[in-house]
Amino acid sequence: MNILVGIVMALAELSGALIFLKTKSTVKKVSLACFGLGFAAIVVLMDILPDAVYGYPYGFLMCMLGGLLVYWVDRYGTNIGGYAAVSGMGIHNFCEGIILTVLGSGISPVVAAALLLHKFPEGIVSLSLLKNARYRMGIVTFISLLIPLGAFMSLPGYIKHPVLALGSGVILFVVSSSLARVLSEHYEYTMPAVVGAMLGVAVCCLI
């Protein structure tokens, strides 16, 4: 079941990339991206991270390590272009697949919706990072497939909390850095971006 969710998430990310290619309205692109990212940030803070740190004293430390891991890749990417930054997205996708495995059949509809919704803007972000790459859709397809690959892995139950905490840090960093990147590249659309993110937060809280 979770492998199926991983496949749907991969398709959602690819859909986001295709939307980026086909949509002419920058306002719509920015609003959609920030809606999904805002939704994902809240569900990690309110659902996945609390589950990760409950009864696990090193939860917040592992969360910080996850964020630092992707930060290092993202910072290294500033020196060699968008490829390394997209590699960070690939690590993020693989961790999300592993989170699906760890959650097992107990994954809640809210978490599933958050994981699905924030893949659309991530497809947009990944493609925009590779705007000068020759085979950018092929690269985005590859990193999208890392989600079901991670979900296919079989992991022992005792590593549930470390994996959830590490994955939470990875997701939070990618979400926050993606929001910052969208705002910096499209600063003239700050209001639609903020409204989109707030709507994502509001919808998540209402669910």
* pLDDT means over runs of 10, the chain (207 residues): 80 84 80 79 80 85 88 64 63 78 70 73 70 77 88 72 82 81 82 88 77
d(CA 94, CA 71): 16
d(CA 96, CA 6): 8
What is the model's pLDDT at position 27? 86
What is the model's pLDDT at position 128? 65
From the CA atom positions of the chain, what is the Rg in Å?
A: 16
Find all residues with CB under 8 Å of 107, minimum gap 6, and list them.
2, 5, 100
d(CA 85, CA 109): 30
pTM: 0.65
What is the model's pLDDT at position 79? 47
Find all residues with CB under 8 Å of 31, minimum gap 6, and list them.
192, 193, 195, 196
d(CA 114, CA 118): 6
Residue with tokens 């925009």: 128
First-to-last alpha carbon distance for the chain, in angstroms, is 22
Sign, CA dihedral 23-28-34-35, equals negative
What is the model's pLDDT at position 64? 92
What is the model's pLDDT at position 83? 63
